[in-house]
């Protein structure tokens, strides 16, 4: 295939080995770009869904066995009593560069035999190591307003929980309930957005759920790599010959 360019003839010469290398790579890069665009659309819908749910008024009665995921990120208002000496600390949580924990405590729901775990907020490790009382809310009947969260799957690199050592790396409500000897427990937990005591810790979680959305930049990266590879392929496959030599 020959192209007439000012002063030159450009001839495309098919090369088997570069083609066998470039073509599959190009297809993979384009598929990765398309996958990131699909992820972008999904993430935009998820963020909008979370925004709508978090802006809705708190629910007080939750019957979510059939549609648990549809209630996640909704605000909820519950009334109950925290149990004495029933606390768990979720490890490996950093805030402002300091190692700490998320403090989980089971709330015995009023007018019910059920319990629900409440994430009361973040506590610095050095504060706990000092032996100071983190929070003393045992026996008090409290109104808790927070956000419904459903435990996700354990990450691939996250260690297994060690209940016998009271070491927790991810939320597993059944394991946590068994370790504390409580039953039955709700299949979700509540992230409290209010401070229950005057002490410095725990620091309540921010009510706004922040979700990264970098899929567009990822897609641009894959498409750019595909374009660059295509340009390189054509550059090495084209012979340029001056017209005066023909």
23 vs 72, more confident: 23
The pLDDT value recorded for residue 36 is: 97
Q: Which has the closest alpha carbon to 127: 80, 89, 76?
A: 89
d(CA 206, CA 95): 12
Burial class (CB in 10 A: 0-12, 13-18, 19+), 30: middle
Structure confidence at residue 65 (pLDDT): 47
pLDDT at 7 > cutoff 60: no
Enclosing H/E stretch for 218: helix 215-237
Tell me: pLDDT of 158 over 60. Answer: yes
Q: What are phi and psi of 16, to 5 degrees?
A: -65, -55
DSSP string, 48-94: HHHHHHHHSPPBS----SS-HHHHTT-EEEEEEEEPTT--EEEEEEE
Helix (H) or strand (E) holding 41: helix 16-55
| pLDDT tens digit sequence for 212-233 | 889 999 999 999 999 999 999 9
Task: Answer whether the bond into residue 202 is a cis peptide, omega within 30°.
Answer: yes
pLDDT band for position 8 (50/70/90)? low
Nearest to 147 by CA among 75, 242, 239, 60: 75
Please, how many CA atoms are within 13 Å of residue 68, restricted to the half-sphere of its CB?
9
Whether residue 3 has pLDDT greater than 60:
no
- The pLDDT tens digits for 50-97 are 888 888 888 876 665 446 777 888 888 888 988 888 889 888 666 667
Sheet containing 2-5: order of strands: 2-5, 8-12, 238-242
pLDDT tens readout for residues 122-144? 888 777 666 666 666 666 678 88
Mean pLDDT of 30-45: 95
| Rounded Cα distance, 73 and 33, in Å | 30
Percent of the chain as helix, strand, coil, to the nearest 5: 35, 30, 35
C-alpha to C-alpha distances, 186 to 19, 122, 133, 180, nearest whole angstrom = 58, 22, 27, 14
Q: What is the four-CA torsion angle of 203, 205, 208, 209, rounded to 10 degrees?
A: 150
Residue 161 has pLDDT above 90, yes or no: yes
- Domain residue extents for the chain: 2-45+214-245, 74-192
Q: Structure pTM?
A: 0.75
Token pair, residue 199, equals: 């002490």
17 vs 68, residue with greater confidence: 17
Render pLDDT for 180-224 as a digit per residue (tens, 0 to 9).
999 899 999 999 877 777 677 788 877 666 778 899 999 999 999
Residue 138 CB coordination number (10 Å): 13
**HSE-CB of 47 using CA atoms within 13 angstroms:** 11
The span from the CA of 190 to the CA of 104, in Å, is 9
């Amino acid at each position: 295939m020959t192209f007439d360019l000012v002063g030159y003839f450009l001839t495309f010469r098919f090369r088997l080995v570069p083609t066998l290398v470039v073509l599959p790579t190009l297809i993979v890069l384009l598929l990765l770009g398309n996958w990131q665009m699909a992820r972008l659309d999904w993430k935009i819908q998820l963020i909008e869904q979370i925004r709508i749910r978090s802006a809705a008024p708190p629910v007080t009665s939750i019957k979510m066995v059939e549609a648990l995921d549809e209630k996640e990120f909704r605000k909820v208002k519950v009334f109950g009593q925290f149990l004495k000496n029933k606390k768990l600390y979720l490890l490996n949580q950093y805030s402002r560069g300091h190692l700490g924990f998320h403090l989980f405590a089971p709330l015995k729901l009023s007018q019910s035999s059920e319990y629900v775990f409440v994430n009361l907020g973040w506590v610095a490790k050095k504060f706990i190591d000092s032996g100071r009382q983190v929070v003393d809310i045992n026996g008090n009947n409290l109104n808790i307003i927070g956000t419904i969260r459903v435990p996700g799957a354990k990450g691939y690199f996250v260690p297994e929980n060690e209940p016998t050592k009271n070491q927790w790396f991810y939320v597993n409500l059944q394991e946590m309930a068994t370790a504390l000897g409580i039953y039955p427990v709700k299949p979700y937990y509540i992230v409290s957005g209010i401070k229950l005591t005057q002490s410095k810790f725990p620091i309540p979680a921010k009510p706004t759920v922040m979700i990264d959305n970098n899929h567009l930049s990822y897609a641009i990266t894959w498409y750019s790599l595909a374009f660059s590879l295509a340009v390189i392929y054509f550059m090495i496959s084209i012979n340029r010959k001056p017209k005066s030599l023909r």
